Amino acid sequence: MLPVNSRIGIWREIAASVWQISSITDSSFFATVDAYHAGELMFGSVTTCAQKTERTSALIAGDSLDYYMMQFYVSGSRVARSRRGEQVFANGDMLMVDMTHAIETESTAYTSFDLVLPRRVLEPLLIDPDALAGQRLAGQHPLTALFRSHLMALYHAAPTMTAAQAMAMQGPTLAMASAALNGNIDPEVASSVRMAAWLPVRRYIEEHLHDLHLSVDQTALEFGVSRATLYRMMVRYGGFASYLRQRRLHRSRDDLLDPSKVHLTIAEIAERWGFANAANYSTAFKDLFDMTPRDFRHMTRSRGHRMNELGSESDWSRWLASMR
């Protein structure tokens, strides 16, 4: 409904809460977002013209968004470039966007059905929550198709649903999302007995990350398995020590973002998470997040400031900017 010459500028401003719009190739630009917000869920549909978008390391550091965005492409196509390489999404495929990982996309005109969930809500249900960035779920996969049908049905029912009814759908939607994501991992891994035990082991490690004496022996004893069994369970994560180190790097990242910890030096945060050598910590952090801890902390801006810049007309964008 807006004049053509003002649409692109407004879209860039609204999208700034999530994406940098690096290029728009259609002079008669259009975009329609129809979104619903219910408790921990945000879902809806996007129809827009061809464009290029990206989440850079600088943007990630600046907005501190920590959620998953799942996008099903029901018309048009989108190319995504991430650490997984380049992948093409079309014909009902799903793109998994982890907002803590850099990604570039290039699309034709497309329509998608989207679901947004805070990491803290979905992560406990996932086998490998840190390996999903840029993942493609093929549209013809049975679990992907069921999840897509569920999301589209939820979207079409939303206009007549009460708030209580929408809230009641949170559990089933989480279950459907996790089933699709866990069910799309390599069949050899998914069928392994060790994967059945992995979720409780991962929860235990997560709950004890602050314990700098946490060891493979302690964890094996907790679950009544041998060291060798635990090592086999964790081989796809690089082993126990590698997984523990990565998770502590993620937690240190949270500390760098936390305004209540601004008084702590980077070396103190590193030591808090078991990195006695600040230089080694900086190298490990950069390898994982493509940015040094110092640069990351420096580029982190007030989330409240970003949200206040958004117009009242773009509630969906404010919802995205506030999800953690």
Per-residue pLDDT tens for 110-159? 999 999 999 888 988 888 888 889 999 999 999 999 999 999 999 999 99
Q: What pLDDT, on a 0 to 100 scale, did the predictor assign at position 304?
A: 45
Arithmetic mean of pLDDT over the chain: 85
Least confident of 31-45, 233-247, 301-315: 301-315
Please, which pLDDT band fits residue 235 given cuts at 50, 70 and 90?
confident
> Domain 239-301 falls in which CATH fold?
Arc Repressor Mutant, subunit A (1.10.10)
CB 122 within 8 A of CB 177: yes
- pLDDT tens for each residue of 22-48: 888 777 788 889 999 888 889 999 999
- pLDDT tens for each residue of 249-304: 989 988 988 888 989 999 999 999 999 999 999 999 998 888 899 988 887 654 44
> Domain 4-185 falls in which CATH fold?
Jelly Rolls (2.60.120)
Is 216's pLDDT higher than 80?
yes
- Residue with the bigger pLDDT between 322 and 219: it is 219
Helix axes 193-207, 216-223, angle to 10 degrees: 120
- pLDDT tens for each residue of 85-115: 999 999 999 999 999 889 999 999 999 999 9
